[in-house]
């Protein structure tokens, strides 16, 4: 007896609708893939981003665009929706960053200057982690990913408001880390204001001569290296990549004569000491001045000037000088063109002039000798007067030489052109 069996296959008549359903599902999946992935990124500022115009770039290729820009519910941030090529879904993870380039054009960043014409651009930098679609955006240029990231803290005493996260940490011109966060803290009990800056340092970029730790824990090795560098004067300071116009960055440098400091490991993050500012160094520099010696020298100079001005020898010298100048003045008047001197009188005038010049030289020498006995010879009006006296002596000696060559000048006066 034959037994009829039912087949699970409904028959060829159903092949066509099943194929149609499969084609519809395939087209739907293809449409979803072509539409891309919707990613939400929160920024501090829209910075000129426009839906449909602002591009999302990856390795120089356009992989998406901004689809919408809206104000966040806190009225402080903006929410930016990105439509990104679905093929990049494996690269959009919790560690991926979306860096806004050209938000604030500056001469220190050539890519930001291009944004003056083309507008800002979002650069996608893939990272590890689980798949994600919501991110906190950053500004600036895409940075190199650190191989190892160890946190260290620096408390600057001055203003650091212009320092931004992702700013580089430099050592001798090499990038050895980056700024993770910039904060502001006020102690309500003491009123002390501090600006803690958290750094991420990469020990592999310090090229430590010690072998890499087998367990991958670089912290002890890095702490030891930083401790020795700080003992040698390593300090953290704020600098600019380009003077005056460049973005701020943190510079690790060896400061000559820096006060003793150490790597403070007592808190959650090991703290690197900050370099002292000019005002902070001023008290130490004042303390290093030989103020007592300077005061003693001023006291000695004052006493010597007082004794010099009241010295009987100086008083006698000045009185003699007055008499000499009076005699010279009298001789000059008597030897005027109204007098017809004889040759003997001319010679007497020349001798008198030479004697006056010699007396001036003697007076100046005596005064300088008295001044030279002080530990620190004074300067000022007295020194200037002695210089003028020496100049007068030279002028009188020149007059004597001229009269000796031209005795007729006492009668006719000096010729229009001289020898």
Dump pLDDT digits (tens) for 79-115: 999 999 988 999 999 889 898 887 766 554 555 556 5
Place of tokens 């303390």: 287
pLDDT at 194: 79
How many Cβ atoms are within 10 Å of 171's Cβ, its own excluded? 18
Query: What is d(CA 307, CA 75) in angstroms, rounded to the nearest whole number?
Result: 80
pLDDT at 271: 93
pTM over 0.75: no
Instruction: Check: CB of residue 132 under 8 Å from CB of residue 92.
Output: yes
Element (H, E) at 319: helix 312-334
Query: What is d(CA 367, CA 383) in angstroms, rounded to the nearest whole number?
Result: 9
DSSP-derived letter for residue 416 is S
* Bridge partner residues of 84 (DSSP): 37, 64
- With residues binned 3-state (H G I as helix, E B as strand, rest as coil), the percentages for the chain, rounded to 5, are 40, 25, 35
Residue closest to 304 by CA, chosen among 375, 251, 396, 241: 375
Element (H, E) at 70: strand 61-71
* Bridge partner residues of 83 (DSSP): 38, 65
* Bridge partner residues of 271 (DSSP): 153, 264
Instruction: Check: CB of residue 400 under 8 Å from CB of residue 353.
Output: yes
Note the pLDDT tens digit of each residue in 160-174.
767 888 788 999 888
Instruction: Check: CB of residue 314 under 8 Å from CB of residue 367.
Output: yes
pLDDT at 378: 47
Residue closest to 414 by CA, chosen among 394, 397, 399, 392: 399
Note the pLDDT tens digit of each residue in 119-151.
788 999 888 889 999 999 887 655 567 888 899
| C-alpha distance from residue 390 to each of 185, 358, 395 (Å) | 70, 10, 9
Residue closest to 386 by CA, chosen among 398, 374, 372, 376: 372
DSSP-derived letter for residue 109 is B
In sequence order, the 6+-apart residues with CB closer than 8 A to the CB of 105 are 112, 113, 115, 116
Instruction: Check: CB of residue 179 under 8 Å from CB of residue 251.
Output: no
Spell out, as residue ranges, where the chain has pLDDT lower than 70.
1-16, 28-35, 104-118, 140-144, 161, 241-247, 277-292, 294-311, 313-315, 317-322, 324-350, 353, 356-357, 360, 364, 366-393, 395-396, 399-400, 403-404, 406-419
pLDDT at 392: 67
């Amino acid at each position: 007896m034959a037994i009829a069996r039912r087949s699970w296959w409904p028959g060829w008549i159903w092949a066509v609708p099943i194929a149609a359903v499969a084609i519809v599902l395939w087209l739907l999946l293809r449409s979803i893939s072509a539409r891309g992935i919707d990613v939400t990124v929160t920024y501090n500022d829209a910075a000129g981003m426009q839906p449909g115009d602002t591009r999302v770039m990856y390795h120089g290729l356009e992989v998406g665009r901004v689809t919408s820009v809206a104000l966040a519910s806190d009225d402080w941030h903006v929410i930016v929706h990105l439509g990104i090529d679905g093929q990049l879904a494996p690269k959009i993870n919790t560690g991926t960053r979306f860096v806004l380039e050209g938000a604030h054009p500056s001469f220190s960043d050539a890519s930001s200057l291009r944004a003056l014409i083309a507008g800002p651009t979002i650069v996608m930098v893939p990272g590890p982690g689980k798949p994600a679609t919501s991110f906190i955006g950053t500004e600036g240029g895409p940075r190199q990913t650190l191989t190892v990231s160890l946190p260290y803290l620096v408390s600057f005493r001055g203003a650091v408001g212009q320092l931004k996260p992702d700013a580089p940490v430099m050592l001798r011109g090499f990038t050895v880390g980056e700024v993770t966060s910039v904060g502001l803290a006020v102690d309500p009990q003491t009123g002390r204001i501090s600006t803690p800056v958290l750094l991420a340092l990469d020990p592999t970029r310090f090229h430590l001569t010690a072998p890499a730790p087998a367990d991958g824990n670089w912290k002890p090795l890095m702490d030891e290296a930083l401790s020795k560098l700080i003992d040698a004067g390593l300090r953290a300071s704020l600098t600019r990549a380009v003077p005056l116009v460049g973005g701020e960055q943190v510079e690790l440098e060896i400061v000559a004569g820096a006060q003793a400091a150490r790597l403070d490991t007592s808190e959650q993050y090991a703290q690197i000491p900050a370099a002292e500012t000019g005002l902070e160094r001023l008290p130490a520099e004042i303390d290093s001045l030989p103020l007592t010696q300077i005061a003693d020298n001023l006291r000695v100079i004052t006493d010597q000037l007082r004794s010099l001005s009241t010295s009987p020898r100086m008083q006698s010298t000045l009185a003699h000088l007055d008499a000499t100048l009076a005699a010279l003045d009298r001789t000059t008047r008597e030897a005027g063109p109204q007098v017809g001197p004889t040759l003997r009188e001319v010679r007497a005038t020349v001798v008198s002039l030479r004697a006056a010049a010699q007396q001036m030289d003697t007076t100046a020498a005596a005064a300088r000798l008295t001044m030279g006995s002080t530990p620190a010879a004074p300067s000022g009006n007295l020194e200037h007067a002695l210089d003028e006296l020496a100049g007068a002596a030279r002028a009188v000696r020149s007059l004597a030489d001229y009269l000796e060559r031209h005795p007729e000048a006492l009668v006719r006066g000096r010729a229009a052109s001289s020898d």
